[in-house]
Structure 1
């Protein structure tokens, strides 16, 4: 079985991640029709800055780097220990991703398990997340890992 450990991101890793996550999140929001393309990356950066005012040291946030047994980076994750809608005892997974070159070898499931354990160790009783409908592989991973749909938005494009 593939094993992944998690640790706090370093400041350098955090800075690189902030650029990548803002671009990815902005693209997802634009593709979903929620935001206009113009200014989307800055909007994403601004939202992240509000949630992470002290960067990787922000209280009640787990900003994590996943590493393999050799200590080599395999992915990243961001968990808020306080749910954004105030649901008691439920943490929220804002981001999780395996490095592209390392995908397809079971690291996604192993990273998710390590993040879940870190969240449990931090005192949360549940972990919730959002996933965009076009991300079929993530939906499959979450479903097979025991996650249930609690809300769902649907759209038909004409």
Structure 2
């Protein structure tokens, strides 16, 4: 694995990333059975707009790009320096993505460590994230990086019932 560096996204990179992250979140919510396919994209847009009322310039939000030595982008981070539920001195990792061509090469772990360094440099004592229960790769990454489960939400869908 080549050395990873992290830098702030440009506005153009943010605009491109934002449309993709909204679509991905909508798809994850549908797959989890939380939202209907018909409503998902609009609900994801509304949620994203609520979190980022000023878009790229929303206070307390960091949008970062991970690159290897030759400038090849390998992933992105979206970090909120304050927790969405008000947990004291705790940041929130809203998004971490590794480009498909670079998955499985250790960049996820390196980008996660970079996010922790950024949070520490901002004087924040902890970081939390959410992960869907069926995302085995992400669960292994987070557990292997020292994250622990602090809450667990579970669901049972009854046969024949609308999801």
Same fold (TM over 0.5): yes
Q: Please, what TM-score do these two structures have when normalized by structure 2?
A: 0.91
1:91-130 Cα offsets, whole Å, 9 max, x none, are: 0111001011111111110011111111111121100000
Superposed displacement of residue 53, structure 1: 2.1
| RMSD of equivalent CA atoms | 1.3
On the 8 A contact 1:79/1:93 being kept in 2, the answer is yes
Q: Structure 1: state its 5+ residue gaps.
A: none
SS state at 1:65 partner: strand
Structure of greater Rg: 2
SS state at 2:38 partner: coil
Superposed displacement of residue 156, structure 1: 3.6
On the 8 A contact 1:8/1:56 being kept in 2, the answer is no
Query: Structure 1: which 4+ aligned runs deviate by more than 6 Å?
Result: none
Q: Structure 2: state its 5+ residue gaps.
A: none
Superposed displacement of residue 55, structure 1: 2.1
SS state at 1:39 partner: helix
Which residue number corresponds to residue 129 of structure 1?
129
Q: CA–CA distance in 2 between the matches of 1:41 and 1:6?
A: 29
Q: Please, what TM-score do these two structures have when normalized by structure 1?
A: 0.94
Comparing both chains, which one has the higher relative contact order based on Cα–Cα distances under 8 Å and sequence gaps of 6 or more? 1
